[in-house]
Amino acid sequence: MKSTRRWTMAAIALATGAGFAGEPLAQTKIDFFFPVPVEGKLAREMTRLVRVYNDSQKEVEVTAVYTGGYDDTKLKAQAAAKAGKPPAVVLMSANFNVDLKLSGDIMSLEPFLKAGGATREKFLGDFWPALHANATVDGELYGVPFHNSTPLLYYNVDHFKQAGLDPARPPQTWAELADAAKKLTKRDGDKIERYGFQMPGGYDYLGWLMSALSMSNGGRYFNQDFGGEVYYDSPSMLGAVRFVDDLIHKHKVMPPGVVEAGGVSTAFFAGNASMVLLSTGSLSFIRENMKAPYNVGFVPRNVRNAVPIGGASLVMFKGQSEASQQAGWKFITWLSSTETLGGWSRFTGYFAPRRSSYDTAEMKEFIARNPDAKVALDQLPFAQPWFSTYQTVAVRKALEDEVQAVMNGKKKPDAAVKDAQKKADELLRPFNDQTSLKLP
């Protein structure tokens, strides 16, 4: 608790010194929508943070509104905007910015940078380079990274030792993962008492993890420079889906069917799963609840090390008054400060998007005590932008529906990727038709 107080007090000090262009404002009331996509006490901590901010100054009063998961937050924010009551600030899934910009929902943050005498390059200079692509759309800043993640491989140290595996060397490749999972899986006749590997199969999480597997198989999940192309029917994605299918139905080291993230965590805690693929954002939750010794490693590769960025950015919705815009930017400035981001990282397990957060004494002390928090940073050089297209959620679900059918044993990988591509292309057609129009 002392550490938490230190970082919030430091953030208050920063807030009192951080201003924005224009005359001092009378108190402006704004809404802040935020999701909690992973396990833990994040909602209560975010509400506490907002209360700390409100108590630190008299110009802005922020109402924190918990809006569920990432997809729910997008829908609720857009519904509020359509009803004429747009939230000033939203903690939005970092890969929604392209879709939200195309739909005209969010505003460019470039005017605030300019008013403060900053440039986009200078502003983003303190943020990890892997985050820049998801913060910008068409060369403009639309989101300020707040918490970020990559997938990680969590594994039970005791299980590794019992199976004759080296707990200091987690699987580096798909082949090693499959081999380790076979050794870790415990069977009693036809009954499986412990699975060697599990990963979430629910919406959003599954698309993120499949992009990680496709990337680590040498492929591209989507066109990073154009919002109308995805590569589902590709050798790299087909290989990724076949790998998951083999783990479930051929090797029988992963349970069949769709298991949500909470079920995967529960299996890991109970000793019913030896290795799990989960977000960095689950790190503090696992650290607090895992009774047996555990460790974390990179996502295993087939062709190369590669992972997608995950997490959320702070965006501002259109349709607000000038006072509300200025109040929202002031709140974003505080919430995305070095101290606030560092404290949130230590509380949640997400890595802090600002590099300067890791220069603070509190973070150095924390990393020394919790070396597992450094693995995601070590993986960052291999990170790539998060899937972001027109109709992001629907296009993502086109793949997830098909992969879930494979996991349930109802479809083969070859047919699944072809059908996923067909559905995605149909969803992307309006954007592509508009983009490819010929001038008279």
By C-alpha distance, which of 61, 95, 89 is closest to 77? Answer: 89
Q: Rounded distance, CA 224 to CA 379, Å?
A: 20
Query: With contact defined as beta carbons under 8 Å apart, do 20 and 115 qualify?
Result: yes
Query: With contact defined as beta carbons under 8 Å apart, do 370 and 88 qualify?
Result: no
Query: With contact defined as beta carbons under 8 Å apart, do 317 and 88 qualify?
Result: yes
Residue holding tokens 């943070």?
49
Q: Rounded distance, CA 404 to CA 410, Å?
A: 9
Q: Give the mean pLDDT of 70-86.
A: 95
What pLDDT does residue 413 have?
98
On the question of pLDDT at 293 being above 60, the answer is yes
Residue holding tokens 């995305």?
336
What pLDDT does residue 40 have?
56
Judge whether 2-148+310-369 and 151-308+386-435 match in fold: yes
Q: Place 26 in a pLDDT band, splitting at 50, 70 and 90.
A: confident
Query: Length of the chain, please?
Result: 440
Query: In terms of C-beta distances under 8 Å and separation of at least 24 residues, what long-range contacts does 372-375 make, across chains too?
Result: 372/283, 372/287, 372/295, 372/296, 373/283, 373/345, 373/346, 373/349, 375/152, 375/296, 375/297, 375/298
Q: Rounded distance, CA 254 to CA 174, Å?
A: 14
Plot region of 391 (φ>0 → left; ψ -120 to 50 → alpha; else → beta): left
Q: Whole-prediction pTM value?
A: 0.90
Q: Give the mean pLDDT of 54-66.
A: 95
Residue holding tokens 């996991």?
407
DSSP 35-95: ---SSSSHHHHHHHHHHHHHHH-SSEEEEEEE--SHHHHHHHHHHHHHTT---SEEEEEGG
What pLDDT does residue 230 have?
97
Q: Place 2 in a pLDDT band, splitting at 50, 70 and 90.
A: very low
Q: 352-394, pLDDT tens digit by residue?
A: 999 999 999 999 999 999 999 999 999 999 999 999 999 999 9
What pLDDT does residue 225 have?
87
On the question of pLDDT at 129 being above 50, the answer is yes
On the question of pLDDT at 340 being above 80, the answer is yes
What pLDDT does residue 1 have?
43
Please state, for a pLDDT cut of 70, what percent of the chain lies above it.
92
Q: In sequence order, what are the residues at sequence separation of 6 or more whose Cβ sits closer than 8 angstroms to the Cβ of residue 238?
A: 413, 414, 417
What pLDDT does residue 347 have?
93
Q: Place 15 in a pLDDT band, splitting at 50, 70 and 90.
A: very low
- For the chain, what are the domain ranges? 2-148+310-369, 151-308+386-435
Q: Determine the CATH number of domain 151-308+386-435.
A: 3.40.190.10
On the question of pLDDT at 214 being above 90, the answer is yes
Helix (H) or strand (E) holding 414: helix 413-435
Q: 405-420, pLDDT tens digit by residue?
A: 999 999 999 999 999 9
What pLDDT does residue 13 have?
47
Q: 92-112, pLDDT tens digit by residue?
A: 999 999 999 999 999 999 999
Query: With contact defined as beta carbons under 8 Å apart, do 201 and 259 qualify?
Result: yes
Q: 107-128, pLDDT tens digit by residue?
A: 999 999 999 999 999 999 999 9
Domain spanning 2-148+310-369, CATH class: alpha beta
Q: Place 438 in a pLDDT band, splitting at 50, 70 and 90.
A: low
What pLDDT does residue 85 have?
95
Q: 135-178, pLDDT tens digit by residue?
A: 999 999 999 999 999 999 999 999 999 999 999 999 999 999 99
Q: Roughly what angle, to the nearest 10 degrees, separates helices 361-369 and 338-348?
A: 20
What pLDDT does residue 18 have?
44
What pLDDT does residue 396 have?
97
By C-alpha distance, which of 124, 217, 206, 223 is closest to 177? Answer: 217
Q: Give the mean pLDDT of 232-256.
A: 98
Q: 416-433, pLDDT tens digit by residue?
A: 999 999 999 999 999 999
